[in-house]
Amino acid sequence: MKKILFAVATFSLLVACGNESKKKDTTSEQKAAKEQVVNVYTHRHYEPDQNIFKMFEEKTGIKVKVINASADELIQKMKMEGKQSPADVLITVDAGRLSRAKEEGLLQSIQSEILENAIPSHLLDVDNQWFGLTKRARIIAYAKDRVKPEDLSSYEDLVNKKWKGKILVRSSSNIYNQSLMASIIGNNGEAAAKEWAEGIVANLARSPKGSDRDQVKAVVAGEGDIAIVNSYYIGKMLNSPDAEEVNTAQKIGLFFPNQNDRGTHINVSGAGVAKYAPNKENAILFIEYLISEEAQQVFTDANYEYPVLESVAPVADIKAWGDFKEDTLGLNKLGEFNKKAVLIFDAAGWK
């Protein structure tokens, strides 16, 4: 009887141990599954991006955990977190900001034939620390009823006296304008850039203020005749649920400057792998997916940006604007000349 009781007790103990072992195995499996994540710090706040993240999750099983904030906030957060940062990927808009993150030591160089072969060389970092995801052109929006497109030609021509009191543009503190100025320094030199900034200030219709959308609205309201804006804002306004915005955008013509020389200034939204990324391989897979044809198609269809992938056709609204020559100045230059751009703006009185 004692042997039977002992056998039962032993069997019960083995079962219990087996169950405990299974629990540990299950816990380990669950933990492994939980570790299949990519932590994305992003400045972009567009709904289409969230859809792309979901598409990536469905394809790979890797969970995308998102932290949204401004570029400055994200960069500061990563600096404070240091080696303990959970960030795997930083996404922001404008090569100037991407270059700043690189200079702060927040990104790392990676090797990816997919990215290097798919993205034109001027749209990625020379050290492979960041990669362009979408393109946007800095164009001239003009009042169709007051300006003839043949009167427009280049950024440089905007200092012509014929535009005195007619130009609208946002503040020099805006990174889009800083990068445009950096591109002018890169193409024409500091002296020419200084003259250009002074000429624009002399021709302003009002003191710089507001967003790119506000510049477009001010043109239609008659406060000025032309504005310097990013192309995708026009696409978003034309497809806005706000009928007034649609009506405003329909009264605007788009002009792509410098088609007879270097081409129109291009900037990007882009991504890089964080310096201390705990999920580096997932981070690389994630960025590679963002330049896949299906992800690129969502970027252009839903946010009216130009795809960096040449095999993807821009959305119909963008196609209607026509093909154009783009400036192929390496976008690293936008970060390199950013400080000089700010100093030139200050000296010229561009508020």
> What is the fold, at CATH topology level, of the domain defined by 136-265+331-348?
D-Maltodextrin-Binding Protein; domain 2 (3.40.190)
Which pLDDT does position 47 carry in this prediction? 85
315-322 contacts, C-beta under 8 A, 24 or more apart:
315/235, 317/235, 317/238, 317/239, 318/231, 318/235, 321/231, 321/254, 321/256, 322/256
DSSP string, 20-80: HHHHHHHHHHHHHHHT-EEEEEE----HHHHHHHHHHHHHH--EEEEEE--HHHHHHHHHH
**How many angstroms separate the CA atoms of 257 and 309, rounded?**
23
Which pLDDT does position 35 carry in this prediction? 65
* pLDDT tens-digit map of 213-234: 999 999 999 999 999 999 999 9
Which pLDDT does position 45 carry in this prediction? 83
- 36-135+267-313 against 136-265+331-348: fold identical: yes
Which pLDDT does position 253 carry in this prediction? 96
Residues 123 and 168: beta-carbon distance below 8 Å: no
Return the closest-CA partner of residue 75 out of 37, 107, 46: 107
Domains in the chain: boundaries: 36-135+267-313, 136-265+331-348
Q: What is the greatest pairwise CA distance in the chain? A: 111
Which segments of the chain have a pLDDT < 70? 1-35
Residue 16 CB neighbour total at 10 angstroms:
10
Architecture per CATH, domain 36-135+267-313, reads as: 3-Layer(aba) Sandwich (3.40)
The single-letter code of the amino acid at 18 is: G
Enter the pTM of the model: 0.85
Which pLDDT does position 302 carry in this prediction? 84
DSSP string, 172-213: TTSHHHHHHHHHHHHHH-HHHHHHHHHHHHHHBSS---S-HH
Return the closest-CA partner of residue 90 out of 185, 223, 79: 79
